[in-house]
Structure 1
Amino acid sequence: MQEKEQYLPQILFLKEGERNSPFSCQRNQVALKIMNLSSEHCNISDWLRLEATVKASVYMVTFPFVTFITIIIITIVSQNSKLRKEVRYILLCHHLMCISSYCGLGVVFQGMRALLANSPVVLCWVVFGVQLSFGEGILFTLALMAVNTYLAICWPLTSVSFVESVKYKILAGTWIIIVFKNVCLFIIEGTKSTSVAVLRSEPLCPVTLNSIPSRAIAMVFLLLLLSIILISYFLIYQEGRRAGHFNRSNIKARKTVLIHLLQISLHVIPTLIFIGLGKMCGKFFSALNLVLFGVFAFAQCFNPLIYGLWNRELRSRLYYWMCCQFWCGHTMNDRGPV
């Protein structure tokens, strides 16, 4: 439609002599061909349904995988009193629950769009808003995990008592910020629609938060969390070099930092590009959108493995848990199998 509007003035506002000239007729025919091509290849309804079908299929694969690993890690942590008291494992479990919930709500929301469920607009907004909140919770918990690691390494004597006293307050404050921001944005976007429009049923389940102010706020929010993560890892690296943790003999420490930064970039870069572009119609933008979503889904699948099972203590306890659970038929406590 934008391309049509671009060429319509060139056709309608020509002088009479120019309209009848051979060059003008040829130019009009080219403009009309472009209009027809744009309307043929830019059917937003078909594109959105195809995108929703692909995303729903990917979420149906990622959701069971992530949920299975999340349940295993939470079970291991909950059965050990030492692990339950450590803040990093509390944040890890919280992070994994955010990923699992995000993927599960992705199946619901994209399934509603792919199946043309004809759901009320307000229901679509609620499902999308909750999924968006869990998606922001993924990055927020990554930032908290990075800050907690920095405090544990650079301030080992004072960080334990401080973090233990404020850990649940910080988690509660995090969710208050996320929910408050999204509710305010939805209220601002919702004021542009009437009550009849909000309550009517739509087959493609439209969403809001695609305006320029909403995308700008989302990018600022994302860049703020990314800055916290990068600053924390930079300070961790500086302290590690000073203390000798990142020397040539300690390859695992350097590899851990690099893997974490790569994993975070797979979360952040596709999201920044997607927010910056917004919803644009066309084959190129639809293909780019699906590629970015594939990269983001790949990062979600491997987050439980990298931040959970990359941990040596969790990995060793997982081996004991699997042996006792599946082969011996026992359960685990703090001292081992019972």
Structure 2
Amino acid sequence: MSLSICPWKYGKRWVYSITYDEALADLHRFAIPMHEEYAIPGHVELLVGQMGEIRKAGNSSYNGYRRDLLARGWGVGNHSWTHEIITPEMVDQELGHAKQVLEEALGEPIILYCSPGNNTNMADHVLKACRRYGYLGAMSLTDALNLPEDELFWINRTALHDHYYEPFYSAYDPYRNIRQAQAVQGWLIDYCHCPLETAVHPNKDCSEAQLRQRFETVLSEGGDAVWCALPEEALSYHLMRRHARIEAVDDNDEAQRFCIGLPELPEQVPYRSLTLEATVPAAWCRDPRVVVDGWELAAEVVRPSVLRVTTPVRDGTQVEIRATPRP
């Protein structure tokens, strides 16, 4: 008999997230209503030094919109202060000051940095500063998936663009990286800027019709196996799983008891749940009882002799699993 942690929350096979760089106000025209329609969480990367200004791509910082996004359950990351190449002399402003200003404006911690421009801003001195200022992850522009045990200070993202820059010509593909995510239990993060009727910058964005096609493809291909999550949620689960230590306290014919520790878990982690699977005698699956920190939870039988439950976890959480006695 044993207790283990699922690679992803709810026992899902793979994860889908999407981010919008620069947090343009026109997201309210198509993207935000579409997220509401399909119930897919959203996330914006805010260019902190230009909040409220007009940029070439549109109104950049939604001063009147940011709390509306938070109320809708969206996440927010720091996309730097200036969107320039970050030298060692600039990290205090681009990462430290920008994070502080953004946290004061939103009233909640910022745990994700998103590289502006290209991967030049994923240099060693930048990532070192990210750790120093309390970020928990850094998002790059590398087109690849993220695996359950990958490094969180180089998070890959898939370009959701009409087509790529020359000489890497391409056609829009609504299935991009989905099959691989299914095969390797990957975390797929799309990124674009602000989908409108047509892509304003085709090699930086997609159209609203292409965004809709992508969402419908993710949901139809993913079915019950995909977890649509905020980047902050997936990152939190990743860290919870990485730091969790399970100790068997008691194991007998009547019950199993375990203690879950979370040594050195960063205090900034905002979401603290884990999905647990327990291997138990077949007879226990008829009417199982799972009690976590004194609260009885409903357990799902996912395979013969395997129970699954998703629960909040703290350092020292107690888990007891037993069968209901026969009447």
What TM-score results when the alignment is normalised by the length of structure 1? 0.26
**Bigger share in helix:** 1
**Bigger share in strand:** 2
What TM-score results when the alignment is normalised by the length of structure 2? 0.27
Higher RCO (CA < 8 A, seq sep 6+): 1
